[in-house]
Amino acid sequence: MADLAHSGGVHEAHHPKLQHHFEDLDQQREASTLGMWLFLVTEIMFFGGLFCAYLIYRGASFDAFAEASRSLDLYLGGFNTAVLIGSSLTMALAVWAAQVSKRKALIVFMILTIVLGAVFLGVKVIEYSGKFAHHHVPGDSFEWAPPYGDPANEAGTEMFFSLYFAMTGLHAAHMIIGMGFLAYLLIPAWQGKFNADWYNPVECFGLYWHFVDIVWIFLFPLLYLIGRH
Amino acid sequence: MTTHAAAAPGSNYLTNGFSLKSWLLTKDHKRIAILYMISITVFFVLGGLFAFVVRLELLTPAGDLMEADTYNRMFTMHGVVMIFFFLIPSIPAVLGNFLVPIMIGAKDLAFPKINLASWYLYNIAGVITLAAIAMGGVDTGWTFYTPFSTTYANGYVVLTVVGLFINGFSSIFTGLNFIVSIHRMRAPGLTWFRLPLFIWGHYATSLVIMLGTPVIAITLALLAAERALHLGIFDPALGGDPILFQHLFWFYSHPAVYIMILPSMGVISEIISAFTRKKIFGYHFVAFASIAIAILGFLVWGHHLFVSGQSIYAGLVFSVLSMLVGVPSAVKVFNWMATLYQGSISRQTPMLYALGFIGLFTIGGLTGVMLATIGLDVHVHDTYFVVAHFHYIMVGGAIMGYLGGIHFWWPKMTGRLYPNFWSKLSAGLVFVGFNLTFFPQFILGYLGMPRRYWSYPDEMQVLNVLSTAGATILGVGYAMPLFYLLWSLKGGRVADDNPWGAYGLEWETSSPPPTENFLHDPVVTGGPYDYAELERKRG
């Protein structure tokens, strides 16, 4: 079946970023993009377990979930949603800047993305500390009482906050890891290594960042909006 | 067919650097496969020792060798080590790592650094789990059912779970690498239906790994959060449902069985074709059967919950879907049988393992259909019947494939042949020992002996003694390859490039292969297993 013939093509000058086991940069780029998409599939399954739990428990203790949802701050949540969508925009612009070899724009948009991510996490810290102050953190000290709601719903609301912390916590962890990666990518960006020929890492990171964003787009209505009224 | 062993004498992936660093920082998939083989063997021995302790306790009806609590820890750690640290990574991480790039005619996997990271994550996870074991272990059973694992366990559940969480990433990295490589890095001319069935098996496995592993990861993370931080997702006191844990757990852990068996089926297809000197009968059906098993595998987890109080209608659907898995599995077995028919069969060691696989897998599969029947399952649920069934699949299936594959490709990996007599003896001992260990357990289970108990009624002793005796023979059979394969590295006959006269890209490069796998980039011009063509060329 196989002829071990000499590969016919003359080897072009190697791009410094072309790894030895790939034929050309196109193959390398396709492989890394496919790899990133596959990784995102595993991420969907990872969050999927939590969404599944939310769906089941919301049906099981609907009133408690509605009450607990009303105690969340819609303004902070809404503000954060806008911040995160803004960071997706700056990230998309960063990918564009890399593709058209605009070094300065790339650096500016990457830094902006990190800053917006930090603003999001800062607001999250304010929200979390409110939960601690009001004993809305699951555990022995959990309390559910007026003005927030009916103490009879304590078990169900504690479940809501278990899910709230698990889901937003996992999402925040993804953002922190993402910001770390983005900061790390700033080094080659600063050195001007990303350009029209090779912008793979920025593009793949962009996919990741948009994914984290989309997770929030689902979390926000589930936790803050539906069942509020 | 060209041989070029003489083209580059003495230069191969093994001789390309001898320092420790050249191994520990290698990005060569073949070296990573060897590293994995060493790590996995350590865990196999460890898991085997736990099993031996369990069987020793069960030699007598009374619980006399150890405390009940110690016994709980022993079978838990046997399960945890064998499943997560041996069976799941065994064939993909060792044989798959070594062979997938070569079989698709590539120089390496798509992401060599991630491949190396996968080995490190595996070892970190292993060390964390070993630390938990050394400090006292876990007593929950490998299934970690809540609330037993959250409220009532008195072992190192969180630490063990952290180990398994990290181990999951090592699996995902391997699966990711395989899928991307098979999609994007096949040699010119190597279309999907020219791929060896070993590749199809690994592709299907990788799909299961990618879709299943993240679910067990989040489930175990929630379990740890519940135990450590009192985040009560599965806590009934908060309206949480322990059954949800079982659903999420089995959503991964049932398909995990197919992670173990699908690559093994790939190995068996290669061996049977090579030692019957025939094209695999119904190649397309065998290839698609792998994909079918991977897909159906995700739809059957509920058969672990027949007695948990899930709705009877869900039970009926899961029962029917579970039986459906029997269809692609039987397609494979029948096609292997048809391949044997009128083949020119040679009884080399790998072939003995492959034939053993067919026998054991068939028994395991048929009892699986029995267990998918709700009425029967209610009767034998949580008995030794179930224990025997899944050992026939996971040990009789996956390990027979692993050992058969190790023997089959040993000359390719090391350049040396194993000793014939000892390897055939070991294959025979494994087959006999295995059946003696686990067949009595079917009967024990049917008589009502529950699993995970340290003592049993006196009248069950004869069958238990038989089982322990079988386990001893099995242990000897498993230990032997460790010695003669190591010996063969120095003392074995030097293998040529294609000692079996087998068909496939891996047999066209030198033994052991050069670091870049092929001295010239391969171009594929025909379908797989074309033994008629091979014979013509050889004259």
Q: What is the pLDDT along chain B (539 residues), one digit of tens a residue?
A: 334 444 445 589 999 888 999 999 999 999 999 999 999 999 999 999 999 999 999 999 998 899 999 999 999 999 999 999 999 999 999 999 999 999 999 999 999 999 999 999 999 999 999 999 999 889 999 999 988 898 888 889 999 999 999 999 999 999 999 999 999 999 999 999 999 999 999 999 999 999 999 999 999 999 999 998 888 899 888 778 999 999 999 999 999 999 999 999 999 999 999 999 999 999 999 999 999 999 999 999 999 999 998 889 999 999 999 999 999 999 999 999 999 999 999 999 999 999 999 999 999 999 999 999 999 999 999 999 999 999 999 999 999 999 999 999 999 999 999 999 999 999 999 999 999 999 999 999 999 999 999 999 999 999 999 999 999 999 999 999 999 999 999 999 999 999 999 999 999 999 999 999 999 889 998 889 998 888 887 76
Task: Flag whether residue A115 sits within 8 Å of chain B, measured between CB atoms.
Answer: no
- Helix axis angle for B349-372 and B400-414, nearest 10°, is 150
Neighbours of A129 (CB within 10 A): 10
The secondary structure of residue B495, as a DSSP letter, is P
Say yes or no for a CB contact (<8 Å) between B231 and A159: no
Say yes or no for a CB contact (<8 Å) between A52 and B213: no
Q: Chain B: give the shortest CA distance to residue A6, in Å.
A: 6
Q: Maximum CA pair distance of chain B?
A: 76
> Can you read off the two tokens belonging to residue B278?
């025939």
Nearest CA-CA partner of A173 in A106, A133, A224, A120: A120
Number of A–B residue contacts, CB under 8 Å:
157
Neighbours of B490 (CB within 10 A): 7
Nearest CA-CA partner of B239 in A139, A132, A154: A154
Mutate to test the interface with A, among B4, B26, B180, B310 (most CBs of A within 10 A): B180
State the pTM of this model: 0.94
- Residue B539, pLDDT score: 64
Say yes or no for a CB contact (<8 Å) between B248 and A49: yes
Q: Which residues of chain A have pLDDT under 50?
A: 1-12
Say yes or no for a CB contact (<8 Å) between B239 and A27: no
| A59-76 burial code (b ≥16 CB/10 A, e <16) | eebeebbbbbbebbeeee
> Can you read off the two tokens belonging to residue B63?
């619980």
Task: Flag whether residue B4 sits within 8 Å of chain A, measured between CB atoms.
Answer: yes
B108 contact residues in A (CB cutoff 8 A) = 20-21
Task: Flag whether residue B108 sits within 8 Å of chain A, measured between CB atoms.
Answer: yes
A162 contact residues in B (CB cutoff 8 A) = 231-233, 238, 240
Contacts of B516 (CB under 8 A, 6+ apart): A20, B107
B248 contact residues in A (CB cutoff 8 A) = 49, 52-53
B1 contact residues in A (CB cutoff 8 A) = 2
- CB distance A122 to A137 below 8 Å: no
Angstrom distance (rounded) from CA B436 to CA B149? 33
Torsion of CA A211, A213, A216, A220, to 10 degrees: -140
Angstrom distance (rounded) from CA B202 to CA B98? 12
Angstrom distance (rounded) from CA A52 to CA A60? 13
Task: Flag whether residue A48 sits within 8 Å of chain B, measured between CB atoms.
Answer: yes
- Residue B11, pLDDT score: 81
- Residue A3, pLDDT score: 47
- Residue A229, pLDDT score: 63
User: Among all residues of chain B, which has the CA nearest to that of A137?
Assistant: B231
Q: Could you write out the DSSP letters of every residue in chain A?
A: -EE-PPP-SPPPPPPTT--TTSSSHHHHHHHHHHHHHHHHHHHHHHHHHHHHHHHHHHHHTHHHHHHHHHTS-HHHHHHHHHHHHHHHHHHHHHHHHHHTT-HHHHHHHHHHHHHHHHHHHHHHHHHHHHHHHTT-SSSTT----TTT--GGGHHHHHHHHHHHHHHHHHHHHHHHHHHHHHHHHHHHHHTT--BTTB-HHHHHHHHHHHHHHHHHHHHHIIIIITT--
List all residues of chain A from 149 to 188 with a beta carbon under 8 Å from chain B: 155-156, 158-159, 162-163, 165-166, 170
- Residue B340, pLDDT score: 96
| A175-194 burial code (b ≥16 CB/10 A, e <16) | beebbeebeebeeebeeebb
- Residue A100, pLDDT score: 95
List all residues of chain B from 506 to 525 with a beta carbon under 8 Å from chain A: 508, 516, 518-525
Q: Chain A: give the shortest CA distance to residue B218, in Å.
A: 6
Span between the terminal Cα atoms of chain B, in Å: 12
Say yes or no for a CB contact (<8 Å) between B4 and A4: yes
